[in-house]
Amino acid sequence: MCTYFSNLNSTTSLLQSSIIMAILDSLPAVGITVVVDGEDLHEYQDTHKNDGEDTVTSYIEATSGANFAIRIKISKDTIYKGDRLDFGVTIDGEYVDGLSMTKGCLDEIILIEGMPVSQGHLKKMKFSELKTVAEEYSASSGNDERVKTLGSICVTVKHRNTTSFVPRIFAKPAETEKIFSEKDIKGEAMTHSYSFGDEIEVTEASVAVVTEPVPGLKDIAGTYLFHYRSQGPTDSQSCYSSLLTRSAALKKLLIIPRTPSPIPLEDRPEQELSREELAELLRKYKAKAVETALANKKIKRELENGRGDDSRAGKKARLSTASIHLELNDDDTFTQIAVVNKQMEMEVITMD
């Protein structure tokens, strides 16, 4: 089970169901957020899905090229059921980094900014536009496992006991660009992946701790899952990009509302219209009046051609408003003037 803390004072234009942070009932003193430029990203709950036990899922907005980090907050009320809490971060199914906190680490805020590549150095994480190609150009088509975890940041928390310490081993981030087949991601509303950016210097321990599960406890105490998507269309993508990956993914998933269609000018009160809008409305009415007049002339001509002169005795004239003139007044309102014309009625034949 989890508890959502609502962002009631937010001025964001997105759904009011946005949340500051999701807290697991099993780990009430632990908070985990995704950070960009030092600020926690707004989290959005998918009200149509139910989370599993000890799992919290939210959606965040990804901006192409933005560096991001994982912020872990541990309050003084944190309960340790072993002698450590282990945190592991995987992105798109790939392990990036982790940390192990002892009982002495209370009231702490820790940032995981990227993947350590050597002692004292790491490469920062950033959101990247998802590159897609047509199926015939992709060597990875049919790779369903990669697609399942694409666009997700997963942080797991475990209660553990210390067993030993070993020299630290550093991983190497993949250098190849991630490219997916359009067929593989069809219908998934995917827009972004992640990559590594600049290498920075950091202060890190030279040893790694080896831990084991606490007897009688589940291996994973809590899982925090963040799905990252774009709010609007991506900036630029492969010429083979599908329409889906160019769409506003969060809006497509109804995580945030779609932009409403504008109200037609003719349906809005005149006093709310600007002078430019009134002029546009006047142009529309004039165009409609011209269209109506031309249609009436065409009908009249067809009727006259069909009956000939001998049938005129069976006709009578009636008044109609075939032409409409609109005049824009000085006070930004307009006046409608009808010009009365004569129109021929259909011939009436009386049967004896």
pLDDT over 50 at 195, yes or no: yes
Residue 230: name the closest of 204, 192, 188, 173 by CA: 192
- Tell me the Cα Rg of the chain: 33
pLDDT tens for each residue of 22-45: 788 889 899 999 999 999 998 888
**Could you tell me how far CA 125 lies from the centroid of its own chain?**
20
| Structural domain boundaries in the chain | 2-252, 265-344
Residue 63: name the closest of 319, 207, 234, 216 by CA: 234
- Beta strands (DSSP E) in the chain are 2-6, 18-24, 30-36, 39-40, 43-44, 55-61, 67-74, 84-91, 94-102, 108-112, 114-118, 121-129, 131-133, 152-167, 179-181, 192-201, 207-213, 222-229, 317-328, 334-344
pLDDT tens for each residue of 204-222: 777 889 999 999 999 999 9
More confident residue, 191 or 110: 110
pLDDT over 70 at 296, yes or no: yes
Which of 15-24, 77-86, 208-217, 280-289 bottoms out in mean pLDDT, i.e. has the lowest?
15-24
Q: Please report the pLDDT score of residue 345 as a whole number.
A: 47
More confident residue, 292 or 178: 292
